[in-house]
Amino acid sequence: MNPIKHLSCCVALLCALCAQAETMTGKNGMVASRSDMAAEVGSKILQQGGNAVDAAVATAFALAVVYPSAGNLGGGGFMMISLADGRVFAQDNREKAPAAAKRDMFLDKNGNVDRNLTVNSLQASGVPGTVAGLLDALTRYGTMTRQQVLAPAIQLASKGFALNDDLAGQFAENLEGFRPYPASLAKFTHDGTPYKAGDMWVQTDLAATLQLIADQGRDGFYKGTVAEQIVKEMQRNNGLISLADLEQYQPIWREPVHGTYHGNDIWSMPPPSSGGILLVQILNMLEPYNIGKLGFGSAATGHLMIEAQRRAYADRAEYLGDPDFVKVPAAKMIAKDYARQRFSDFDAQKATDSASIGAGKWPEESPQTTHFSVVDKAGNAVAMTTTLNRSYGNRIVVPGLGFLMNNEMDDFSSKPNTPNSYGLIGRDANEIQPGKRMLSSMAPTIVTRDGKLVMVTGSPGGSTIINTVLEVVVNVLDHGMNADKAVSSPRFHHQWMPDNVRYETGAFTEDAVTELKKMGHKGLNGSGFGIGDANTIVKKDGVLEGVSDPRNVGGVAGY
């Protein structure tokens, strides 16, 4: 099949989707985000002389105000920082299990997992890491004060902003989930009546909390009034987080996962995220093949990538967890000789049965996460992915503080070989232990070449995160696409178990789908909804191209 003809076909099929993409070019700085208001906040920080870290911290705090389903103070995530001098850092601000957490805490008297407890209770909340992570990054690598980077978020919360259709619709969809909690109902409705697009949304309690953080730093969240209110709410509703849990929380700076692909350096997040290891492992398996020549969306390319995804995700289930609690063979998993060994049974004409590769599944976080990318004039870059786990976390707003708590404890394996709320099975490496961080698929990623920035990307999407990032990277590096095409082009996903292929309309032609089925690939279920939300920045010939994924409302701002 002519790959150019096929690419044109796919782009035509997605013309309506692509038309909604937010794109922008600039030379001095760029922010790509799920929210146009948050992107604008970050861009203004850059224009005021802040660097990429300053802008990232400001964007993240703004997302807690303008995109509350995933932007947060009560959750956590991961941040990759690439400095213009070539140094790269990985920050883990993932939530932790409280000290009172127990291995079997979500099992009922019959030994079965209580699904309500794992997602809809304060027992589901891990110790939040976002605030500590953002402030620590600002102190180490930023140039502005807390007051400067928090000022836009405080103003958005205190003065309010007009709700768009997207946010008003989200609030209405989640109304029944908010209804049992007075503080949640007060925040997200007009006395129980849904907000409408165009209504002004003022968050006085959240503004006060943000002001405490601006004035007192981490002590404004992890000690004092805020911490005491969090713990009181925990005690009222059988939650586990204590004052000591909050005070003792620290983000961890970890060694980035580093791989190479066709002369490019791939920098991504290490465990407790599985994202970086799997990304590099898959790219290692693909590197010997000329994907650009095979063609975007062809059966040959799809077969090759699906088989690599299948093997990497099988390894994820067996080996990955919090490296502070389990031994993770990271170096082995990202070694190129291991990739050759792992892919030695690849058959170019036939799909592999997942059951013959391994057994068991793994827990994942909800698609309701958010990612943003930032690049400044000097070439510093930040990729950050943050989440509450499910959309709006456990939907519980802490009274008087104005922010939601996460339900990340569901990302642990509540019971060996028992599906979690997403129907996926975990193993001992990801069992609940006090102080442990739950496994994730988040993959904030930075690509450089000869020490110079090439691209910044990442995505929400649970287990689809890794393949979303993979395909955006391959689209740029192998297929030569610009940022807009790389992000807008349709995607596909395979995660070992369940053994089926999910794809967006246009990811494969009808002939390619027929051929993949003949090879033995299962499922091949076309999807009317999007995979991932890859807000991305690509730098080429000194020009930054930023794009917010057209699969969702978003924004990009640069200059």
Active-site residues, by number, are: 369
Distance (Å, whole) CA 209 – CA 70? 18
Q: Indicate the pairing of strand 502-504 with strand 525-527.
A: parallel
Q: Of all helices (H) and strands (E), which one includes residue 253?
A: strand 252-254
Q: For residues 27 and 249, what is the distance between their CA atoms, to the nearest angstrom?
A: 38
In 286-410, beta strands by DSSP E: 369-375, 381-387
Angle at 307 between CA 304 and CA 309, to 5 degrees: 110
DSSP H or E run through 477: helix 465-477
CA 376, 380, 384 angle in degrees (round to 5)? 90
Asked if residue 98 lies in contact with residue 405, where contact means CB atoms within 8 angstroms, the answer is: no
Tokens 């690049």 — which residue? Answer: 375
End-to-end CA distance of the chain: 41
Q: Quick check: bond before 323 cis, omega within 30?
A: no
Centroid of chain to Cα 209: 25
| Cα(353)–Cα(368) distance, integer angstroms | 30
What is the C-alpha to C-alpha distance for residues 406 and 390, in angstroms, rounded to an integer? 8
As a whole number of angstroms, the distance between CA 127 and CA 337 comes to 39
Instruction: Give the β-pairing of 22-26 and 369-375.
Output: unpaired
Phi and psi of 478, rounded to 5°? -100, -40
Rounded CA separation 461/202 (Å): 29
Reading the block at residue 209, the tokens are 């909390």
Q: What 8-state DSSP symbol labels residue 172?
A: H
Give the angle subtended at the CA of 158 by the CAs of 398 and 36, to the nearest 5°: 95
Torsion angle defined by CA atoms of residues 75, 385, 89 and 341, in that order, rounded to the nearest 10 degrees: 120
d(CA 475, CA 344): 25
Which residue, chain included where needed, has tokens 């006090």? Answer: 434
Alpha-carbon span 69 to 407, nearest angstrom: 12
**CB-based contacts of 176, cutoff 8 Å, min separation 6:** none
The answer to whether residues 455 and 536 touch, using CB atoms and an 8 Å cutoff, is yes
